[in-house]
Amino acid sequence: MSSAIAKLEARLGVRLFNRTTRSVSLTDAGRAFVEQVAPGLEDIRGAMDAARSQQAKPSGMLRINTFATAAREILAPLVLEYLRRHPDVHVDIVTEGRLVDLVAEGFDFGMRMANLVPTDMIAIPLGEPQRNAIVASPAYLKKHGRPRVPSDLFRHRCIRVRLPNSSLFRWEFRKRGQTALIDVTGPITLDEASLSRIAVLEGIGLGFFMEPDVRGDIEAGRLVRVLEDWTPELARHCFYYPGRRNSSAAHTAFVALAREVAVARK
């Protein structure tokens, strides 16, 4: 790829990218070039989609962008079942916290909370309504006591969460029309739920999770849930995708299975 870009820059006589050892970004000339060629590339993509739509048998690659909790929810019932039915398709799943532009970044599908799905996308609700869960180890609660209302967290050690944009996540609570946003404090800041779970299991402090990420620990007694009455239901996860006139056989079959799974879960 680097060689191809270098040859293009040499042919055009301008630098399209600013390069350092740590990052790559478009120059002004590069941005102008992308804006001018983008419509043509979209036409090419449309022609490719039209050609793929003629396939009788699903094949090729499908790319899905989601976050880890949702990926775990759909992996077995949707993705793995799809692969069993259509072994000539390769599915590439990317999990990340940021919300991406599916079309601009080359994804076929996304999976997010319903309230985060762009309005110009086709959405299929999947799964049960979600909830957050605030948990701690039994040892931590024995030593530090149990918070009864969100403001009690100011007296507790909490696992801080860094968002993909580098800001710190404020713990949000709702109850009977009341809302509380708490800037918790604690001994460690993490940006991945599985790491936070380890810290909480080790008794370092309280943690804020999506319920499915710690449900097994709660049921097994390894973690204890607190402030449950302050964590009402959230929006359901939605599987979504941009509308296309000429979808490939692989794309069409995946949408059909997603709708099948959605009906089964109602």
Q: Is the dihedral of CA 226, 173, 262, 116 positive or negative?
A: negative
**φ, ψ of residue 152 in degrees (nearest 5):** -65, -20
Interval 131-137 mean pLDDT: 96
Any bridge partners for residue 133, and if so which? 209
Confidence of residue 180 (pLDDT cuts 50, 70, 90): very high
Q: Which of 9-13, 134-138, 237-241, 250-254 has the lowest mean pLDDT?
A: 9-13
Nearest to 142 by CA among 82, 76, 224, 69: 224
Give alpha helix (H) positions in 54-123.
68-74, 81-85
Mean pLDDT of the chain: 89
What is the Cβ-side half-sphere exposure of residue 73, based on CA atoms within 13 angstroms? 28
pLDDT at 55: 62
Does the structure show a pLDDT above 70 at 245?
A: no
Which residue did the predictor score with more confidence, 252 or 164?
252
For the cut 90, the answer to whether the pLDDT of residue 6 exceeds it is no
pLDDT in tens, 37-82: 888 877 787 777 666 655 668 999 999 999 988 898 889 999 999 9
Give the model's pLDDT for residue 138: 98
Residues 6+ apart with CB under 8 A from 141: 224, 226
Asked if 242 and 102 touch (Cβ cutoff 8 Å), the reply is: yes
pLDDT band at 227 (very low <50, low <70, confident <90, very high): very high
Domains defined along the chain, listed by start: 1-54 (1.10.10.10), 130-234 (3.40.190.290)
CA torsion through residues 249, 254, 257, 258, sign: negative
Q: What is the pLDDT of residue 54?
A: 57
Q: Of 255, 143, 119, which is closest to residue 205 (Cα–Cα)? A: 143
- The predicted-structure confidence for 111-128, as pLDDT tens digits, reads as follows 998 888 999 999 999 877
Q: Is the pLDDT of residue 151 over 60?
A: yes
- The count of other CB atoms within 10 Å of the CB of residue 38 is 11
